[in-house]
A and B are shown apart, each in its own frame.
Chain A
Amino acid sequence: MSDHAKLDSEDQTHVDWGTYKWVALILFVMTVVEVWVYYIPAFVATPWFVPTILILGAIKFAIVVMFYMHLKYDYKLFRALFVGPLTIAVLILISLLFLFGKVAIHFS
């Protein structure tokens, strides 16, 4: 086995079945919580509903990327190739929402 081939197989061996199982369980529980809060009208009416859904979604997103896509253990170049465009895309999305008046900051 060449050094390169060795690197390719080694960088995937940091995560075991136990980790995958816990990640799946956490993702399942977080999805249940997301749907559960959706059906609580009193909570939906509060200003906490949207941030809760956004935070839960962001955590699920990060967990899949870190553990299932192995970005937590993989090379920095791969991390840069994903996190760089993702950051720019999210900033553009937020900028567009401000530009079209979907979100606003009130200074008083």
Chain B
Amino acid sequence: MIISSAPMRISFAGGGTDLPDFYTRYPGRVISTAIDKFIFIAINHAPYTNHVAARYSLSEEVSHPSELKNTRIREALLDLGIEKNIEIGSFAPIPARTGLGSSSSFSVALLKGLYAYIGKKLDKREIAEAACRLEIDLVKEPIGKQDQYAAAFGGFNMLQFNPDGTVDVEPVLLDYKKRMALESHLILFFLGTTRDASSVLAEQKANTQKNFETLKRMSDSVPVLKEALLHADFKSAGEMLLEGWTMKKQLASAISNPGIDRLYEIALDCGAWGGKVLGAGGAGCLMMLAPLERRAAVVETLTAGAKAEGFEAACEIPVGFVQTGAEIVVNSYGR
């Protein structure tokens, strides 16, 4: 058996500038960090069965990969020419569609594992590019490239999406004190509902022309946010998140809704500096930065507020940042 893993991520700014409609005209930029929540993929060689099995939230057993409902597993197996005798399962600590980039983490871990299965080792960049190709070209998701790079590389990075399609990965070199201080100031608040990123992103993609100037400002704000983080100026960083969130809401109608807007407001009233809804928006996780002395109060207020808005399962998710990217955890078929 092979077990591979890839981390989920928190994106601080620049989401949407990783779509080709934008970055082919102006360099897109995103700043994000990998977090200590991992997707695990288990791949089993089953030589005495003729089937292909995929076990995730559904359990599928088919005679040929082309019959699979799971689009990522289907296209990956077809692309690699793996037609039978394989079982693939996925495991995660957090439900899918929460804005933590989990679907791309899934693709990254899947490809890392499948390449190991056919005896090939890929480095971080190769895995990131393979995952972009799988999701964007083969599965035809209307998504950008930031999550595949975040999951494959791990760590805290500023990504730049160049007009020629290349991606620069520049590490944000926070020392442990600043990194852990930022973790303490950060609140990751799970709203308990999920959404399909594609519908929000499809609208956002259609609006790229209309939103070009806003996206440009978002891209240009990324290096400024990076400097604030490097100086451990989390108050300024939080205020920039507030500004970024205000801009992001203009990109597509479904990014926010009145319930989320109200929660954001009460967090600010309670002393939080700023934040954003993670991922394509609409639901998922609310991420806020707050002064340490207000942190517990903000969490308490959000929990009560979320209940009042009908987010019954809402809760804080404790989170740490990790350097780890895509990994092979176990490979019993040899190295």
Bound pair (A, B): no
Which B positions have Cβ atoms within 8 angstroms of A? none
